Every structure is written in structure tokens, then in C-alpha cells.
């Protein structure tokens, strides 16, 4: 034994994954986190930190010697928590929520514990197949046609973000165009969204080499409640074709970021099909609601679209980052994204009998993310998830009702899903012209500065709008009502202020 160094003395001294230490410390962390959730309402929702606060408190270099977990947890309490904007606070109504749940947390623990890399089927067979299974499960919950399912001729994949879902489908569409009309056509390819399409769309198109002049941002207005008009789309496409350009890709949104507007997929897909464009539906937020029959109509026409993405971390209690993408023709993705280096070759891949998810995404490595969705879907069941969506929608309606009941406020567009867009318009007071936006901004800043609620804003149709997005996992009606009371309190103070007389 001696010369081969088999004795314990020659083996690793440093054991960073000792099962017993793991067990003890992970239990300690579970309690730390459960305590955090219990006390979460006591923290300011929006961090009251100033830029540089945390950096100033931490050392310039990593320690040379180990530090005990207790010191680290102490620093989490004293340095990190005060610098957090608490996305899981029940009084977080900003942006769209990022939901988490016990089941998602457990799934994430399992995923991390395996730390498997699923670039090919062989590298993690269960990771690949479970992802195929849960993507089909979710497709069934959404009543997607079989053409988007592995059980049919399509399939789904978990991406990190909507941006990546757009990037991979856009590149698939682009390369299909290259094949048809040559790679030199790049300069002529045109993509279409509305002025409400997420900013990720323009960014992604630029990443993919689409000429910035060929990225169309079609105007919307109050008239369509900020949905993309198929009539306008057709006009813009016709003009482009007349100018010798080549229509490539349309991004339709189900639940825009500003106002949760829904683009009319069924009508947009007519135009897309007519001009041989790829139609992608970005349902990052609104898609989750479509597991409820009463919302499913927003996906009407999906059977003629090319791809659909939806982020369960937004509204299906899965944690970040989890964007589900379904495509009708996986082959088009794989043709655009496949690589076949020798070091990843293996018999199952060569037999073409398996899915190698590396060819469905930007990167090579990938985690076992489907565990998280699998645990959520099984632990809660479709019934509870539908109930959860409906509960959020009901709370948003409650808030909308409260806004409507106060004559000093108006709802800017009828609330869709669980987002309420409203503003403070105290018409009975003589507010100076052009002062309304400033008043709303001031109201928002005051509300957020209390630390008791966090909301955000947008501007649509030239108007500054307050957004109240219900959906944080822990939110209950009492938090919605308390938020409304706080907003009213802010409004009262503003009206008393001399500035707006």
C-alpha cells in the first residue's frame, strides 16, 4: 500500500463534501431560511441601502483561512439582508413577481445535490428524459397541440430566460432563411414586435446580427389597449417586402411587461404564415394563467405558431431561472445549434434515438432544472396551481375595485391577469398642467420609501402609470388592502402639499 499512497494519511485532508458536515450545516441553513420567511414582513420591501454600502463593509480580499458558518450567517443578517430588495415579501408588488415555493426549493436542492451536467442524453439520462416529461405535462396543462409535444412531433426545453428562448428560435429562423435565400440575405432580414414587446427582443435581435434598422417596433395605443394590431403589422410587412426586404420573425406577447397587454396571436399568425415568418409567442408572464380554462383563449392560434415561451418562475411557483420553450420543429433548432465535438460523442447520440439538449440552447452545460418543475407539479397538482392563479387574479380585482372606488384615482387600462395599472388624478383639485406625472412619481417614491410596499411604474401612451402586480407567493388580501391604504395615505399628504396647488 505504502508507495501507492492508499493510507488514510495520504488521502485528502480537506473534505468539502463530507456527508455529516453537509447534513449538520444544511439543517442549520434550513432553519435560517425558515426563520427568514417567518420574519419577512419585518424587513423593508425595497432595500433602503445606498450605492456602495455593502462594498464598503466587506474586506477587499478573500480570507486565506476558513471562517465558520456562524460568522457568515451573522454577516448575511447584518450586511446582506439590509441590502436586499425582498422579492418574496408579501408586500412586493413591483415588476412581475418571482415566485418560489417549498416544492420548487426542494427540487432545486436535489438539482444542486446531483450537480449533473446534461449536455447529452448519456451524460444524464434521467435529467434529459424528466425534462421531456415535464415539458409535455405543462404542454398538456396549457392544451397545446401535439405538434408542440414530444408525444407528437415537437418538444420543449427549459431555458434560463426569455432572451435565450428568443435568441435560439430567432437563430433557427435566420438559418432557415439562409438556407432558402443565402447567407448574404442577413442584411435584408426584418423582425417585428410592438413598442410594448420586452426590451429583450431588440437586444436579442442585435445579438443575432439582425441589422438594427430592420428591427420594427410597431406602435400601439390606448385604442388597442397596447396590443399589437395585425392590420398595422401587415402594412409594415407589406412596405418592407415592397422595399426588397425579407420578413423573418414576429414576436407576439401574451402579457406585456408594462400593462400585461395581450397581442392577438390568432390574427398575427395569419400575417406571419402568409409571409413565411417564424411566429414566436412570448408568454413569459401571461402564459401561466392559460392553465386555467378561462384564460386559455389568449393562446388561441398557437397551433399555427412556431414557438412559445413561458416562465414558470414568474407565476407557477418555480424559482429562477426557468423559462419553458416549446417548438414545433425541433429539427430547426438542432440544425442551427448542434455541435458534435469528439469529446462529447457517444453511441446513443449517434444512434439518433435520444435528445441532446445542448443542441437546443446557447450554452453547452446545463443543470437538472426539470426536477424543480416536477416537484411543483406533483406536490401541488394542477388544481392548486389553477387555484393559485385565480387567487392572484381575484386579489388584483380587489385592488382594482379599491382604485375605482376612490374618485381621485383612475385605472389606466382594464386589469389583465394580476396586474393593475393606475394613476393618481385628483381632478377636483386644480393640479397645474403637466404636473400629474410628477405627482404620481412622487407618490410612488414616497410609498416605496416607507419600506412597507414596493411598486414600480411604466409609461404608456405618453402617460406615467403606477403598476401594482399581485403574485408574490406569500401575498394575502390583507397585504393588498394595506398597500392600498398606504397609497391613499400618500395621496392625502400629496394633496395637502402646497406644491401641486
| Residue 383 engages its own copies in binding (rule: CB under 8 A) | yes
Stretch that binds its own copies, among 192-200, 215-223, 242-250, 261-269 (CB under 8 A): 192-200
Task: Please identify which residue in 146, 186, 438, 495 interacts with its own copies, judged by CB under 8 A.
Answer: 186
CB of 499 to its own copies, least distance (A): 19
Q: What are phi and psi of 134, to 5 degrees?
A: -70, -30
CA–CA separation, 367 and 116 (whole Å): 6
- How far is it, in rounded angstroms, from Cα 87 to Cα 76? 16
Nearest CB to its own copies, comparing residues 35 and 492: 35
The interface region with its own copies, picked from 110-118, 215-223, 261-269, 422-430 by CB under 8 A, is: 110-118
Q: Which is nearer to its own copies, 113 or 497 (CB)?
A: 113
- Tell whether residue 404 is a contact of its own copies (CB under 8 A): no
What CA–CA distance (Å, rounded) separates 371 from 345?
26
By the rule CB under 8 A, 302 interacts with its own copies:
no
Pick between residue 478 and residue 496 the one whose CB is nearest to its own copies: 478
Output 29 or 239, the one with its CB closest to its own copies: 29
Q: List the interface residues with its own copies, window 478-497 (CB under 8 A).
A: 478, 481
Total of residues contacting its own copies (CB under 8 A): 174
- Residue 424 beta carbon to its own copies: minimum distance, rounded to whole angstroms: 18
In terms of Cβ atoms closer than 10 Å to its own Cβ (0-12, 13-18, 19+), residue 466 is buried
C-alpha cell at 357: 439538449
Nearer to its own copies, 292 or 344 (CB): 344
Of 42 and 115, nearer to its own copies (C-beta) is 115
- Does 116 participate in binding its own copies (rule CB under 8 A)? yes
Nearest to 195 by CA among 228, 163, 162, 222: 228
Place of cell 409535444: 149
Q: What is the layout of strands, in order, in the sheet containing 278-282?
A: 155-159, 323-327, 307-310, 278-282, 246-253, 189-194, 215-218
Assigned C-alpha cell, 212? 438594427
Among 83, 145, 219, 451, binds its own copies (CB under 8 A): 83
For the segment 321-360, give every residue that binds its own copies (CB under 8 A): 321, 336-337, 339-344, 348, 351, 353-354
Is 18 a binding residue for its own copies by CB under 8 A? The answer is yes
Name the nearest CA neighbour of 120 among 358, 339, 367: 358
Q: Burial, 213: exposed, middle or buried (Cβ in 10 Å; 0-12, 13-18, 19+)? A: exposed
Amino acid at each position: 500500500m505504502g508507495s501507492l499512497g492508499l493510507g488514510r494519511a495520504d488521502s485528502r485532508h480537506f473534505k468539502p463534501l463530507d456527508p455529516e458536515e453537509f447534513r449538520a450545516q444544511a439543517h442549520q441553513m434550513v432553519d435560517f431560511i425558515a426563520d427568514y420567511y417567518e420574519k419577512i414582513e419585518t424587513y423593508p420591501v425595497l432595500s433602503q441601502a445606498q450605492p456602495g454600502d455593502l462594498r464598503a463593509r466587506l474586506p477587499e480580499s478573500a480570507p486565506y483561512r476558513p471562517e465558520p458558518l456562524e460568522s457568515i450567517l451573522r454577516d448575511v443578517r447584518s450586511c446582506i439582508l439590509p441590502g436586499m430588495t425582498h422579492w418574496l415579501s408579501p408586500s412586493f408588488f413591483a415588476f412581475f413577481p418571482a415566485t418560489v415555493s417549498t416544492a420548487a426549493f426542494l427540487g432545486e436542492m436535489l438539482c444542486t445535490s446531483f450537480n449533473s451536467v446534461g449536455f447529452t442524453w448519456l451524460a444524464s439520462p434521467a435529467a434529459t428524459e424528466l425534462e421531456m416529461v415535464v415539458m409535455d405535462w405543462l404542454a398538456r396543462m396549457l392544451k397545446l397541440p401535439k405538434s408542440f409535444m414530444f408525444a407528437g412531433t415537437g418538444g420543449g426545453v427549459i431555458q434560463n430566460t426569455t432572451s435565450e428562448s428568443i435568441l435560439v428560435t430567432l437563430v433557427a429562423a435566420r438559418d432557415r432563411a439562409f438556407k432558402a435565400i443565402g447567407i448574404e440575405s442577413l442584411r435584408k432580414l426584418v423582425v417585428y414586435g410592438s413598442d410594448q414587446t420586452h426590451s429583450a427582443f431588440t437586444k436579442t435581435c442585435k445579438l443575432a446580427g439582425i441589422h438594427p434598422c430592420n428591427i420594427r417596433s410597431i406602435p400601439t395605443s390606448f385604442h388597442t389597449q397596447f396590443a399589437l394590431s395585425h392590420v398595422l403589422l401587415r402594412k409594415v410587412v407589406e412596405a418592407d417586402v415592397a422595399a426588397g426586404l425579407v420578413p423573418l420573425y414576429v414576436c407576439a406577447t401574451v402579457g406585456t411587461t408594462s400593462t400585461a397587454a395581450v397581442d392577438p396571436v390568432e390574427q398575427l399568425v395569419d400575417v406571419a404564415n402568409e409571409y413565411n415568418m417564424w411566429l414566436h409567442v412570448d408568454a413569459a408572464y401571461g402564459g401561466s394563467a392559460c392553465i386555467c380554462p378561462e384564460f386559455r383563449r389568449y393562446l388561441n392560434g398557437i397551433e399555427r405558431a412556431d414557438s412559445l415561451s413561458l416562465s414558470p418562475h414568474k407565476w407557477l411557483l418555480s424559482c429562477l431561472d426557468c423559462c419553458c420553450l416549446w417548438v414545433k420543429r425541433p429539427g430547426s433548432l438542432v440544425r442551427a445549434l448542434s455541435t458534435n465535438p469528439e469529446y462529447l460523442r457517444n453511441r446513443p447520440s449517434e444512434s439518433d434515438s435520444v435528445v441532446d439538449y445542448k443542441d437546443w440552447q446557447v450554452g453547452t452545460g446545463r443543470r437538472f432544472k426539470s426536477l424543480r418543475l416536477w416537484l411543483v407539479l406533483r406536490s401541488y397538482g394542477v388544481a392548486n396551481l389553477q387555484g393559485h392563479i385565480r387567487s392572484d387574479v381575484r386579489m388584483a380585482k380587489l385592488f382594482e375595485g379599491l382604485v375605482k372606488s376612490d374618485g381621485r384615482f383612475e385605472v389606466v387600462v382594464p386589469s389583465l391577469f394580476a396586474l393593475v395599472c393606475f394613476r393618481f388624478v385628483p381632478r377636483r383639485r386644480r393640479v397645474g398642467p403637466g404636473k400629474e406625472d410628477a405627482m404620481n412619481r412622487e407618490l410612488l417614491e414616497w410609498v416605496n420609501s416607507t419600506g412597507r410596499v414596493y411598486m414600480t411604474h411604466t409609461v404608456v401612451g405618453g402617460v406615467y402609470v403606477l403598476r401594482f402586480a399581485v403574485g408574490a407567493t406569500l401575498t394575502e388580501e390583507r397585504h393588498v388592502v394595506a398597500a392600498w391604504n398606504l397609497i391613499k395615505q400618500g395621496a392625502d399628504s400629496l394633496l395637502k402639499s402646497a406644491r401641486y396647488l
